[in-house]
Amino acid sequence: MVNRDKLILDDLKKFRILNRDQIIAMHFNHLKQKVVVCNNVMKRLRRDGYVTACTESQPYNYFLNPSPIKKDSKKIPHFNAISEFYIEVCKYEKPRLFNVEPKLAEKSTIEPDCFMIVFNSPIFVEIQRSIYSAKVMQQKINRYKAYFESDEWMNLEWQGEKKFFPYIWIITDYKYKLDNVSPLQIFQTKDVNEFMETVVKQ
C-alpha cells in the first residue's frame, strides 16, 4: 500500500465518510486526470477490502470497512458539511490539527463539530446547517462558558506553557444575538471566505 492510500484511509477514519469529489480535493487535485486516477485508486481499495461504497449516490460515498456509521445514517450530511468546511479552509492554510467531533468533556457539555489549529490559532467550530432558536444557541454558548470556567481546557494535549482558550467560530447564514459571552471570543460568518475577509485579514 502506497503512502497516499494510507492518507486516504486516515481521512476516512477522521471524517467518517467522504465522497469521491472530496477525496479528489484532498488527495488528487494536482493531477490532470484526477477523476480517472481517483476512481481507479478507490476501486482498488474496495477490491482489497479496505473501503466500502454507497453506489446509490453520485458521486459515490466511501466509508472505511467496517464502517463507523451506517450507509443511510442521518448524520451523513453533517459529516459531509464538516469535510467541505475542511477543504475550504485548506485553500487558505492546511490546519496543523483537525479533529472531528472531539470528545472534550462529559456528555451534554460542549460538543463542537470540529476543533482545529490554523492561522496559528486554536478554534472550536460549530457548523449550523439549520437555524436554531436564540434560546438554544444561547444555551450552547453557556456550555462553552461553563467549560471555560472549569479550567479543563488547560489540560488539552496541544496546550503549551501559556494557556489559551480557543476561539469559537460559528458557520451560519443567520447571525445570532448572543448575550453574556465574555470572556469568550466568538465569530459568526456564513462561510470560510467571509471569515478570511473579515477576521483573518484584519
Domain ranges (residues) in the chain:
3-73, 78-200
Residue that has been written with the C-alpha cell 467531533 in this structure: 101
3-73 architecture in CATH? Answer: Orthogonal Bundle (1.10)
pLDDT digit string (tens) for 84-108? 999 999 999 999 999 999 988 776 6
Residue 201, helix vs strand vs coil: coil
pLDDT digit string (tens) for 37-56? 999 999 999 999 999 999 88
Whether a cis peptide bond, with omega within 30° of 0, leads into 95 is: no
CATH number of 78-200: 3.40.1350
Q: What is the pTM of this model?
A: 0.92
